[in-house]
């Protein structure tokens, strides 16, 4: 059964009051903006008060620069103050700095973390052990910011060192899951879209309910519930127009609420699409999967692997794994592919029970490249 957390009631959802929540920007966006400002001061001799940062999906945002400091003739540091909007993020107000220095040879660009940026010490995070905890999307944004400035230097080329630092990052990290995950010494530089969407239970739940209402009103009796933008993009690539555009609904961490609303509003079928972390929590019976409220139980995954025929060595390694992603890497290493379908079945059974069997469900587990690695029921497709 699902853990006993309070349901979100219709009466708890304000009408119209939460729709104007202010968005913010990620630490990754801050790092890219600070880098662009520092590099511009270094090679263009121009101290910018604001910079435009290119976000994923061809969007841009204008960021204020807090300060710029010339270290010497070959090094400049710039800073941005993290603004999380109306999201209750522990990094809100943090100073994110970038120190850009000229290096030899001219063709080399090195990006690393400095004070307050954590170092990866455990597997399962999709980052190399020993490296700074700067995620792939922020890294691409930083490179993009560098390229925009260097493209203005038609007759010159530069080798660069870029050090991202967060002066209070080590203190802030104590309020996060970073130490448990093996990211030591500071925070992670994060972001998949560059923008922070305010985390408001009432407003997010209201958005889910309204999206289901729209889908129903448009004549769709099937919906695809995704755990975020990335899983939605992958789901669209898989199912395309066999599912109507308005039937793709991001439910974030609110799987329990989303499934219950589908049942209440008499949606016939819901596809639940996500990655191993969120789906593992669902398989454990957690209906609100936000990282602050729940953790993946490695003993649960080890028992599940044992049921799939895992040997004692794999079970032992899973029990001491760092993250659900790390477990996935171990499963792949040992070739225990049946594990993923069994995990999906656990999700299916919990959610079917939670919706009082009033909703047909299809559970789809994706790898981090968007490939389907698990599903249940297996003999199912969008046309059924």
Per DSSP, the residues of 7-45 read ---GGGS-SSTTTTPPPEE-HHHHHHHHHHHHHIIIII-
Nearest to 271 by CA among 215, 331, 325, 326: 215
pLDDT of residue 11 exceeding 70:
no
pLDDT confidence bin for 205, thresholds 50/70/90: confident
Domain residue spans of the chain: 10-16+200-376, 24-196
Helix axes 338-354, 276-283, angle to 10 degrees: 50
Higher-confidence residue of 192 and 259: namely 259
pLDDT digits (tens, 9 = 90+) for 68-86: 999 888 999 999 999 987 6
pLDDT confidence bin for 203, thresholds 50/70/90: low
Nearest to 309 by CA among 335, 271, 285: 335
Per DSSP, the residues of 334-365 read HT-THHHHHHHHHHHHHHHHHTTT-SEEEEEE
- Strands (E) across 256-359 are located at 269-274
Nearest to 132 by CA among 102, 105, 163: 163
Q: Hey, how many other C-beta atoms are within 10 angstroms of the C-beta on 308?
A: 16
Whole-Å CA distances, 74 to 37, 39, 100, 163: 15, 10, 8, 14
Q: Hey, how many other C-beta atoms are within 10 angstroms of the C-beta on 309?
A: 11
**149-158, 207-216, 272-281: range with highest mean pLDDT:** 272-281
Nearest to 288 by CA among 260, 317, 320: 260
pLDDT digits (tens, 9 = 90+) for 109-144: 999 999 999 999 888 788 899 999 999 999 999 999
pLDDT of residue 10 exceeding 60:
no
% of the chain at pLDDT higher than 70? 88
Torsion of Cα atoms, 32 then 38 then 40 then 42, to 10°:
-150
Tell me the pairing of strands 360-366 and 372-376: antiparallel
Under 8 Å between Cβ of 80 and 34: yes
Q: What is the CATH number of domain 24-196?
A: 3.30.2110.10
């Amino acid at each position: 059964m699902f853990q006993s957390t309070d349901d979100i009631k219709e009466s708890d959802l304000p009408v119209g009051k939460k729709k104007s929540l202010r968005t913010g920007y990620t630490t990754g966006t801050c790092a890219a903006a600070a880098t662009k400002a520092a590099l511009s001061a270094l090679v263009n001799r121009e101290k910018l008060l604001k910079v435009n940062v290119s976000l994923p999906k061809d969007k841009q945002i204008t960021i204020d620069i807090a300060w710029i400091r010339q270290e010497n003739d070959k090094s400049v540091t710039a800073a941005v103050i993290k603004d999380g909007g109306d999201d209750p993020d522990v990094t809100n107000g943090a100073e994110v700095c970038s120190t850009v220095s000229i290096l030899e040879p001219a063709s080399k660009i090195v990006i690393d973390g400095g004070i307050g940026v954590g170092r990866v010490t455990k597997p399962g995070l999709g980052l190399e052990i020993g490296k700074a905890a700067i995620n792939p999307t922020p890294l691409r944004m930083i490179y993009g910011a560098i390229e925009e400035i260097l493209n203005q230097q038609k007759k010159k080329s530069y080798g660069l060192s870029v050090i991202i630092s967060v002066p209070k990052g080590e203190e802030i990290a104590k309020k996060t899951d970073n130490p448990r995950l093996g990211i030591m010494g500071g925070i992670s530089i994060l972001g998949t879209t560059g923008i922070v969407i305010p985390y408001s239970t009432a407003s997010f739940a209201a958005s889910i309910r309204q999206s289901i209402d729209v889908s129903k009103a448009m004549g769709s009796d099937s919906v695809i519930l995704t755990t975020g933008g990335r899983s939605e993009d992958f789901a669209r690539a898989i199912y395309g127009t066999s599912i109507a555009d308005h039937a793709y609904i991001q439910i974030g961490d609110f799987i329990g609420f989303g499934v219950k609303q589908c049942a209440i509003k008499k949606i016939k079928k819901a596809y639940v699409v996500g990655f191993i972390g969120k789906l593992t929590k669902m398989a454990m019976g957690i209906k609100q999967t936000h990282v602050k409220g729940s953790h993946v139980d490695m003993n649960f995954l080890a028992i599940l692997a044992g049921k799939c025929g895992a040997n004692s060595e794999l079970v032992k390694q899973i029990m001491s794994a760092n993250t659900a992603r790390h477990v996935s890497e171990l499963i792949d290493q040992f070739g225990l592919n049946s594990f993923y379908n069994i995990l999906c079945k656990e999700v299916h059974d919990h959610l079917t029970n939670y919706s009082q069997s009033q909703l047909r469900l299809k559970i789809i587990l994706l790898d981090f490249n968007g490939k389907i690695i698990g599903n249940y029921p297996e003999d199912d497709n969008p046309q059924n």
